[in-house]
Structures are given as C-alpha cells and as structure tokens.
Structure 1
Amino acid sequence: MAFTHSTTLPVGIYHDGVLHREVTVRLATVGDEIAVIEAGIPESGTAVGILARYLTRLGTLAPEDMTYSLLCDTLVPEYYAVLHAAQLEAKKKLSALKPACATTVSPLSDSDSTASAPPAPAALTL
C-alpha cells in the first residue's frame, strides 16, 4: 500500500511555460530531514527542502526537476497548507492499518490469573 495522497493546487506552479497543478505527496521521513541537512540547505529552508523530497508528483515535471531551488522560486506560500493537508491524508492511510495479527495473552480461568509465579531455581554451586 502506498502512503501517498494526491490533490490539486488552487492555481498551480508555473514552470517552463506550463502550469502544474496536480500534486502527489508521500509521508516525509527522518531520512528526508537528514538528506536536507547533508545537502547543505540552510536551516531557514529546511521545510521547503523536505517538501521537495516528499513531493512525488508535480504536474508533468520530472522528479529530478522538483528541487529545493524550483520550489523556492515558484511555490506560493499559501500552498503549504494544501500540501500539509495532503501529508496528513497520507498519514491517515498509515494510521488506518491494523496489525496483521494481534496477539494477546489472557488467563484461561480466574484462578490462573491469581496463581503465584513458580519459585526461582536455586543457585548452582560448584
């Protein structure tokens, strides 16, 4: 299952003569944060750097074109709310998963729950 969410930007991002409106995001990871730091992106641009990594589709742009620089130059600040909401929707898909098999241990009878623990083995002496 892909933990992504697609949405449409209200106006879009204009790049190379094309208006790009359809976006898909995936869940951001700690690895995204580390990669942004390692790339030398300034602390003030961390959020945009991470966004550039978890944005998997932006119109018809190639993935390698969805960069920190492109977003800094073309992203409208109001779109943070749209992209953040898409990120939350992707997170909901993950949180909706149920464990494959939940194992619980319960006593067979009331007397089992009050039984005392077996005595600890005696220490061995040589």
Structure 2
Amino acid sequence: MEIGQVVLHVDDLKRATAFYESFTGTPPVFQVAPEGPVYFQLEGVRLVLDPAAPSSALFHVKARDIHATTERLRAQGVPVVTEPHVYFERVDAAAGPAGTVEWHALLRDSEGNLVGLIEHQPARTST
C-alpha cells in the first residue's frame, strides 16, 4: 500500500492555501467549492486542505535541500520548531534508501499545524 492523500484541518482556507502554495512551490489542482476543500497534487500524494476535517495531521514533505528550504521559509516568517537535524542513518533499505542519512525539521503552518521536512542525503563514509 502507499499513501494516496493526507487531509489537513485548516481554519482559514484562503490563508492555508496561500501558505501551502508557497511551501510546496505548486498551485492547487482543484477546489470543490469556495468553502473548500482545496487539493494539491504532490508527486503521487494528494494534500487536501479542509475546514471540515476533524483534526490535524503530521506529514513530512521531501525537501531537495532541507537547510535552504528551512531558511527560505524562516525568511517568509514561518516558525521553525525543530532545526534540521540527523534523524537516523540507514544501513539497509528497510525504512528507506540504503546508505543514506535521514534529516528532519519541523515547522508550523499558517494554521498552527506541525509540518515536517525530510531529506535523504548520502551517508558519509569514513576512510
């Protein structure tokens, strides 16, 4: 199985849509009605912003450069909760690409939800 969509509760649909358009670098692909929900397509997973959703969700967006992305968002006023840090090193492919180091950072979106960034970097080999 794979994740098909993540539904995120938002209080202010217009504000949240603007935030996620900037955060993901992609515009929404569909909006059901003026009051929502709003759909984004993120490389095979739909992100749905919905004022009627029952609660928040935590999800991580893959970043191409977690440090640069964190700094860009911080400069836009996005609160950084947890700075980029090594989460763990992968020896095998049981939980992701083998031989990589997984980096995480946590931010708050315009609605106060936690949003994660994730990046897999090649593991450094000691010689």
Query: Shorter-chain TM-score: which interval?
Result: under 0.3
Q: Judging by fraction of residues, say which structure has more helix.
A: 1
Choose 1 or 2 for highest CA Rg.
1
Q: With CA pairs under 8 Å and 6+ residues apart, which has the higher RCO, 1 or 2?
A: 1
TM-score w.r.t. the length of structure 2 is 0.24
Q: Judging by fraction of residues, say which structure has more strand.
A: 2
